[in-house]
Amino acid sequence: MATAIIKGLEKTDFEILVAGHDPEKTARQAENLSVRALAKQSDLVAEADLVVLGVKPQVLPAVLEQLDFHQPIISMAAGVSLERLAGMTNSSLPLIRIMPNINAQILQSTTAICRNQHVDDQLLDLAKTITDSFGSTFDIAEKDFDSFTALTGSGPAYIYLFIEALALAGVKHGLPKSQALDIVTQTVLASAQNLSQGKDSPHDLIDKISSPGGTTIAGLVDLEKTGLSASVISSIDTTIARAKEL
């Protein structure tokens, strides 16, 4: 995810510094990304005006206890609240929490953002400049981060499963798997663009596709008979419940 963010920032005026637990590996990555590597994380904290934490949640406490922050922090550690982050750093620091998703890899992330009371509007706008460089940013109340993560973090996996199922249906009825997958992928992509760029709701578009007594309505009735909507909602409920357990 950190690599995706750096690639998104290539078109901005930020000077990017990186530091990791393995200096040699970090140096190689920095060279590939055309950014400046520092030998130690403490050197980065001493020099940077803004720190973005790309650290896994389970090792975050051990990393942060060795560092003395004086600047604003952006954290993308899943499940680590602003209150908890303040306890691991400094309660008076401006702290921003973000949650990107896998589509940051193609600079199309759907990213949530929230802030603590020490972050002013100017700093928030700066943070959004960063997150907008690799996708779209949504202001989300921190209490809703688990719901957001279920929809956008886990949601792509559920969408991929649906795409795979449609492609397998094509294979069942005689299409080669690669061709079926290409057809379904393009259909899903264009359908999402149609929804995003137009004024119709999903319900409106379904009505436009479904002719009275036609093939689409027959398939839709069967999907509901087997519980598609209930299954999707249940999967999100389960995802959120699991997130609260972690």
pLDDT at position 74 is 97
Confidence class of residue 243 from pLDDT cuts 50, 70 and 90? Answer: confident
pLDDT of 199 above 80: yes
pLDDT at position 11 is 83
Q: What domains can you pick out in the chain, each with its CATH number?
A: 1-140 (3.40.50.720), 148-245 (1.10.3730.10)
One-letter identity of residue 147: S
Q: What is the pLDDT of residues 130-147, one digit of tens each?
A: 999 999 999 999 999 999
Helices (H), the chain: 2-8, 23-33, 41-47, 60-64, 82-88, 121-132, 145-148, 155-172, 177-197, 202-209, 215-225, 228-245
pLDDT at position 91 is 84
Q: What is the pLDDT of residues 26-76, one digit of tens each?
A: 999 999 999 999 999 999 999 999 999 998 889 999 999 999 999 999 999
Measured on CA atoms in the order 229, 158, 185, 139, is the torsion positive or negative? positive
pLDDT of 245 above 90: no
CA distance 99 to 76: 5
Percent of the chain with pLDDT over 90: 89
Confidence class of residue 159 from pLDDT cuts 50, 70 and 90? Answer: very high
- H or E stretch at 73: strand 73-75
R_g of the chain computed on alpha carbons? 22
* DSSP conformation letters of 16-37: -EE--S-HHHHHHHHHHHT-EE
